[in-house]
Structure 1
Amino acid sequence: MGLGKNVCLVLTLVRHAETDLDTKIPRVLQGQSDTTLSGVGIKQAESLGWRLRKYHFNHIYTSDLQRAIQTTDEIRKHHPSTPVTVEQRLREKNLGDLTGMSWSDAKQILKIEDVHLDDHIGGHGGETKTEFYERVTNFYSDIINQHLIQPHAEMLESIQTLPEETSKLKEAPFSDAASMASMGSLCSVRSGMPKLKQVHVLVVTHGGWIQAFSQHLLQELNFNFIPSDIHLGFPKNTGVYRFTIAKATKPDGDYEWEGSVKLMNCVSHMAGISKKVMKESSSHLSLQSITESPRPIRKVYSKNAEPETESKVGQTAEPPRPASNAIAGGTQRSLGW
């Protein structure tokens, strides 16, 4: 995949495939509505699964909402042996009483109350921006701790050559796990030790969640990225994001954790889907009236293959969304390790 020999952790994030509410006009605040994929969404998920078939994932995490579960099922057809954890913390932002409402109606309510969106939903059964952001970063801290910090500490302990540094890692506060993965967070250990086995984690979630997650990595943890190659528009359905955390060796033999952005909002796997759907629709209309409905997802899987190469970072971003683009939310629960 061209990620570099020192990469220890790869995080691939994808947004769920399309639902009927995603394309509804006027726009609907989908939030935590437990909607299912549309006919087009099923095709998108199948295309995404085919794109990801050659990667080896050590673990898959998915939101517990049906649109994410269905998208995950299509991916798992190519990864039947990969463990999956269903996570409520991966839900979209909870919009409270605005969930399922059209954006035009929601704006009227906000105008009458003379309040911002965040102020309204925080007082009407939803999550504030701060609460949602904390849920996202809390999940990230767990992932870093489980798949990077703990394995690294165990490796140091196994070779029994760096007792002081190992102790510091094992005793580090849980809240520091995420900051240890940011660029410039020095892990004061000597070089020459065995390599940490690379782990690849896949997360299937929602647009608002991915947007908050990207903000955390880029603005708070200073992940490396090339602005001209990165598009920060609202995540597209089945948009693929990839982040890496590597050991950057220093001249004095020590190293630090360095985070990088490799891919954002890439939907190259969807090329041709729209034309195909239009062609099929035209054919159906000329022959007979056919109502398309999502087909049942059968548990048919194929074997994993070797990782493929991503050829380009980022794709053209979709037009700007309204100020409420952090749509959705969720409740917290511990990871099912």
Structure 2
Amino acid sequence: MRHGQTDWNKQRLIQGHSNIPLNEKGREQAKKVAEAFRDKRVDVMYSSDLLRAYETALEIAKVVSVEKVTTCKRLRERSFGDLEAQAVSKLEELVPGYGTNWGSDAVYNMERLEDAQKRLTDRLVEIVEEAKNKHVVVVSHGAIINLFIHFVTNGEDGTGKRHLENTSISTFKYKDGEWEIVEINNHDHLVKSTE
């Protein structure tokens, strides 16, 4: 799942590896998504080591009674290098197709799409192999989750094609080395709470 909102999300600033905490709305979103997990089985939790993801994970852990959230750098957002803290519009202007430029050299010290995707997918396989027959929640970031969706769908969906809402849930199954999508970008917990 994606983390809750930060001030930088609200201001449309590039976060990447910058360690920005949740804002008030993000903390509320984290509580709402935690409630969505109240009646679900969760055995193990992992999170990016960045504060916005970890804070979101801790809210869920409280509700599902998971004692420990394991953090990992490899679950971090894609690094946007020298462009972090800049407006998202600047990224779109300076790096046209930044979400679809597969095979491109790194520019502005940004992490290459292939490199970010590989570190994440390798770590997710390790996680599911370690947690066989368990229900796992991983809290991460929008661009990196989109890279995983791109991987699972062979480029049919994900990076360059989809926006993921803050605290949206995307569910996958893993069996015999194959990933299957169950749902993508479920944010009903946010919609229901505002009706």
Q: Within the alignment, does 1:245 sit opposite 2:177 as a pair?
A: no
Which stretch shifts more, 94-103 or 259-268? 259-268
In the other structure, the counterpart of 1:269 is 189
Quote the residue 2:131 is aligned against. Answer: 147
Normalised to the residue count of structure 2, the TM-score between the two structures is 0.84
Pairing partner for 2:163 from 234, 239, 264: 234
For residues 55 and 153 of structure 2, the distance between their equivalents in structure 1, rounded to whole angstroms, comes to 29
Deviation for aligned residue 1:103 = 2.7
| Deviations 1:204-247 (CA, angstroms, capped at 9, x unpaired) | 00001111111222228x9xxxx9xxxx622110101111235x
Which of 69, 72, 86 in structure 1 is aligned with 2:57? 72
Distance in 2 separating the partners of 1:137 and 1:78: 27
Identical residues among aligned pairs (%)? 27
2:46 equivalent to 1:47: no
| Residue 20 of structure 1: aligned partner | 7
Determine helix, strand or coil for the equivalent of 1:234.
Answer: coil
Instruction: Structure 2: give runs of 5+ residues left out of the alignment.
Output: none
Q: Pairwise mapping of residues 25-174 of structure 1 onto structure 2 (< 5 A)? A: 27-110=12-95, 117=98, 122-148=106-132
Q: Is the 8 A contact 1:243 1:260 kept in 2?
A: yes
Look up the equivalent residue of 2:110 and give its one-letter code: G
Q: Alpha carbons of 1:116 and 1:217: their partners in 2 closer, same or farther (altered >3 Å)?
A: closer
1:241 alignment partner AA? S
Mapped partners of 2:76, 2:137: distance in 1: 15
CA contact (8 A) 2:21 2:51 kept: yes
Q: SS of the residue aligned with 1:237? A: coil
Superimposed CA distance per residue, residues 44-83 of structure 1 (whole angstroms, 9 cap, x where no aligned partner) = 1100011101222221000111111110111111133443
Measure, in 2, the Cα distance between the counterparts of 1:257 and 1:129: 22
How far apart are residue 258 of structure 1 and its match? 6.0
Specify every segment of 5 or more residues in structure 1 that has no aligned partner in the other structure, as ranges.
1-13, 149-197, 247-255, 276-337
Distance 2:178 2:97 in 1: 37
Asked which structure has the greater CA Rg, the reply is 1
User: Pairwise mapping of residues 193-208 of structure 1 onto structure 2 (< 5 A)?
Assistant: 198-208=133-143
TM-aligned CA distance change 1:33 to 1:56, over 3 Å: same
CA contact (8 A) 1:18 1:41 kept: yes
Say if 1:60 and 1:82, in contact at 8 Å, map to a contact too. no
